[in-house]
Chains A and B, each alone.
Chain A
Amino acid sequence: QKEVEQDPGPLSVPEGAIVSLNCTYSNSAFQYFMWYRQYSRKGPELLMYTYSSGNKEDGRFTAQVDKSSKYISLFIRDSQPSDSATYLCAMSQSNYQLIWGAGTKLIIKP
């Protein structure tokens, strides 16, 4: 069993839809949770991070952590074609070594 599981997609939704991206994990010691966005032929860039449980909102993006279920989510409201990318979750126990999901490819159709 992988430490971090993420559905590779692709996930295709119409413009304006609410998108939900998810990861599950097995290590209950993880405390740092991150979402990176990777455009085609580019390196990943940090989108959001949360520490421990709870929600964090930044514009159209909301990150949620449910430690009891070992489940994290990224919600995108009012999705735009420019949001089309691969979204990678990453998490860490020590704030040092990151464990990565395989990424979910998101396609927003105009």
Chain B
Amino acid sequence: DAMVIQNPRYQVTQFGKPVTLSCSQTLNHNVMYWYQQKSSQAPKLLFHYYDKDFNNEADTPDNFQSRRPNTSFCFLDIRSPGLGDAAMYLCATSRFSGRAVNVLTFGAGSRLTVL
């Protein structure tokens, strides 16, 4: 089945120790998104790639970086995690054409714990 796969599902790290989360998709979608979701809060968009174009949200901290080496893979790097970065990180994809509704397909998420 075509889908969005995130790894790892659960990540525990120490304060300040870098973390990389990965996302792969078999949907051949042209847009990939990284969201941060904390308990009882709306998902917060960190970055998205529209084809090869990288778009960084204005309020995304510099501590967060992203890479998209090819159309199928995307990585989220947290250079020095703080306690406030503990959250669920959601990867999503969509095939945006400007004509049909932009429907996002999400992965199952990576839950990050910072000790």
Chain A interfacial positions (CB closer than 8 Å to B): 4, 6, 8, 32, 34, 36, 41-46, 49, 51, 88, 92, 95-98, 100-103, 105
Give the CA-CA distance A46 to B103 in the complex, in Å: 7
Residue of A8, A42, A95 touching B98 (CB-CB under 8 A):
A95
Q: Does B42 contact A (CB under 8 A)?
A: yes
Chain B interfacial positions (CB closer than 8 Å to A): 4, 6, 40-43, 45, 90-92, 96, 98, 101-109, 111
Residue of B42, B102, B109 touching A95 (CB-CB under 8 A):
B102
Task: Please determine whether B102 and A92 come into contact, CB atoms closer than 8 angstroms.
Answer: yes
Q: Which residues of chain A are near B103, meaning CB under 8 Å?
A: 34, 46, 49
The 4 A-B residue pairs whose C-beta atoms are closest, nearest first, are: A43-B106, A100-B42, A102-B42, A8-B40
Residue of B42, B92, B105, B107 touching A103 (CB-CB under 8 A):
B42
Considering the complex, give the chain B residue whose CB is closest to the CB of A43: B106
A-B contact pairs, 30 of them (CB 8 A): A4-B42, A32-B101, A34-B103, A36-B104, A41-B108, A41-B109, A41-B111, A42-B108, A42-B109, A43-B4, A43-B90, A43-B92, A43-B106, A44-B90, A44-B106, A45-B106, A46-B105, A49-B101, A51-B101, A88-B42, A88-B43, A92-B102, A95-B98, A95-B101, A95-B102, A96-B96, A98-B45, A98-B102, A98-B104, A102-B41
Give the CA-CA distance A102 to B108 in the complex, in Å: 18
Give the CA-CA distance A100 to B102 in the complex, in Å: 14
A58: min CB distance to chain B, Å: 14
Q: Which residues of chain B are near A96, meaning CB under 8 Å?
A: 96, 102
A39: min CB distance to chain B, Å: 10
Considering the complex, give the chain A residue whose CB is closest to the CB of B99: A95
Q: Which residues of chain B are near A49, meaning CB under 8 Å?
A: 101, 103
Give the CA-CA distance A32 to B100 in the complex, in Å: 11
